[in-house]
Amino acid sequence: MQIDRYAYRSNVNSWNAGFKVLLSIGTLCMVIAFDEVMVSLFVIMSLGAFTLGVGKTPVRVYLRFMSVPLAFMICSGIAIAAQFSSLPSGEWNISAHFFYLCLTKSGIKLAVQVSVKAIAGMSAVYMMAFSTPMHEIIGVMQKIRLPGLLIELMNLIYRYIFILFDVAAEMQTAARARLGYQSFRKSLRTFALIAGSLFVVSLRKANAYYDALLSRGYDGKIEFLTEKKRLKAWQAAGGAIYFTAVILIWRFCKR
Amino acid sequence: MTKTQKRILKFSIAFALAFSVCPTVSAMHIMEGYLPPAFCIAWGVICVPFVVKGFYVIRKIITENRKAVTVLAMAGAYIFVISALKIPSVTGSCSHMTGTGLGAILFGSCTVSILGMIVLIFQAILLAHGGLTTLGANIFSMAIAGPFVSYAVYAICKKCRMNRNMGVFLAAMLGDLFTYCVTSVQLALTYQKEGGSVLSSAAEFFGVFVPTQLPLAVVEGLLTVMIMMALENYAKPELKAIGFEKSV
């Protein structure tokens, strides 16, 4: 959840939010659509260098975020690469008595390709997440005319998440101080109690916040203001050059 | 502590860490880049009617009762926080609830589809769970299929006058499992083996995730029951306020 803090601190924070979103989503779409290992590798390296070098996001933090879906990648990598069958039909076969786990070259290649593509996609999204605070991303969604109600809900939910996280952390500390996590059974009970009281707290807070909204003249529409950040010519040019580079690499590798 | 003791301690910590690396971190969200464009769009399109329905339901709720806006937002934040909290598990690995079963039972399946969509966007951007291009597929499995099954199971159990807690348990567990069946099928449709059918591929993906997901589903079911019990003890008025008691 600290990603927002790093976004505010990033050197790229002063860039136009819409531009960053466009750059990130555009790159993401190209990575997915082109499905080319070289493009993915280029995107991983260039955007990684951008986030770390220009944005000055700490390397440790960046790596931690990138490694979150590692488990999913490994599990589904195995499922893509391997095949269960009663006959040893692959290039490498691991016998498991009742069936064989067959690895084929094409399967492994596919698994690696997909993993690289996934990492590239993540670096594209994280370029945006590590440089643009959430409320600016929501502001961009507002500009592309998503329904106002949705935007309002997103803004409120985003704010409330932090409030609830604080409350939950306090409750967890209190529970730990009272040995609430001594055993598996106890920790289940503690979790349920925390979730239950979190629910009560959240609804009470919702009432209080409604009163606060009313006292500030709420009439069914909440306006959120965002800072105006102008897009500079050299940034736009850089974005265009980057897109062209990605497309060129794709054309070049296709042949 | 002497130097050797420290060294032994360090070694044992490293050993413990090596064997308890989180193997189940939200294995149910399909990651960015795993689906080709056609599938991304297709799953997105499938979600549209549900999301539109949910949107109108929410808009109706809010125009009828303006106060609902903060309650709904809190509900969304609640689902997010619950699904981000680490739940206890036996091996010391970290895992998370989906929270969809609980959400569906508390707030109804249509509302959850919208709230779930927002939560999934936040999870993709803030926590690296899921992704933006796979949003459609994830919305379908986690915010539509799971909650609808949970809600249906819960309703059926209520009709059959089954024990309330049993109903909640089944609803949450089956919702969780179904979410994850859908995810397997989604992956299998994409990565079909040559010569194999969709079903066999789905079984493969299912098999890879089963050892981690089955206990998780049971734990989620248990937790949901315990949360519901806690809510009935402490939060009767709040439950009434969101219209839960009425529907029971």
Q: What is the 3-state secondary structure (H, E, C) of A149-206?
A: HHHHHHHHHHHHHHHHHHHHHHHHHHHHHCCCCCCHHHHHHHHHHHHHHHHHHHHHHH
* pLDDT (tens digit per residue) in B141-183: 888 998 999 999 998 998 888 888 888 999 989 988 888 888 8
Sign of torsion, CA A19 B84 B138 B21? Answer: positive
d(C-alpha A20, C-alpha A131), whole Å = 8
Q: Are A55 and A72 in contact (CB under 8 A)?
A: no
* Domain limits, chain B: 31-242
Chain B residues in contact with A211 by the CB 8 A cut-off are none
* pLDDT category of residue B8 using cuts at 50, 70 and 90: low
Quickly list DSSP for A17-45. Answer: HHHHHHHHHHHHHHHHHH--HHHHHHHHH
Chain B residues in contact with A72 by the CB 8 A cut-off are 25-27, 29-31
Q: Which fold has domain B31-242?
A: Arp2/3 complex 21 kDa subunit ARPC3 (1.10.1760)
Residue A240: predicted pLDDT? 92
CB count in 10 Å sphere of residue B84:
22
What is the CA B163 to chain-centroid distance, rounded? 24
Chain B residues in contact with A158 by the CB 8 A cut-off are 77, 122
Whether the predicted pLDDT of A93 surpasses 50: yes
Does A20 contact B at CB distance below 8 Å?
Answer: no
Residue B16: predicted pLDDT? 47
The answer to whether the CB atoms of B129 and A206 lie below 8 A apart is no
Mutation target among B43, B69, B118, B216 for the A interface, most CBs of A within 10 A: B69
Does A199 contact B at CB distance below 8 Å?
Answer: yes
Q: Are A131 and A51 in contact (CB under 8 A)?
A: yes
Does A113 contact B at CB distance below 8 Å?
Answer: no
Whether the predicted pLDDT of A179 surpasses 70: yes
Does A137 contact B at CB distance below 8 Å?
Answer: yes
What are the DSSP E strand ranges found in chain B? 86-87, 95-96
* Min Cα separation B162/chain A (Å): 22
Q: Are B27 and B209 in contact (CB under 8 A)?
A: yes
Residues 6+ apart with CB under 8 A from A202: A160, A164, A167, B74, B75, B77, B78
Residues 6+ apart with CB under 8 A from A97: none
Residue B110: predicted pLDDT? 85
> Of A7 and A73, which is predicted with more confidence?
A7
Whether the predicted pLDDT of A70 surpasses 50: yes
The answer to whether the CB atoms of B76 and A153 lie below 8 A apart is yes
The alpha carbon torsion through A101, A102, A106, A112 (nearest 10 deg) reads 30
Whether the predicted pLDDT of B247 surpasses 70: no
Whether the predicted pLDDT of A75 surpasses 90: no
The answer to whether the CB atoms of B125 and A196 lie below 8 A apart is no
What is the CA A21 to chain-centroid distance, rounded? 13
The interface predicted TM-score of the complex, written ipTM, equals 0.85
The answer to whether the CB atoms of A69 and B193 lie below 8 A apart is no
> Of A212 and B91, which is predicted with more confidence?
A212
* pLDDT (tens digit per residue) in A206-235: 888 888 888 988 877 777 777 788 888 898
Residue A85: predicted pLDDT? 62
**Low-confidence winner among A80-89, A144-153, B168-177, B233-242 (lowest mean pLDDT):** A80-89
Residue A87: predicted pLDDT? 61
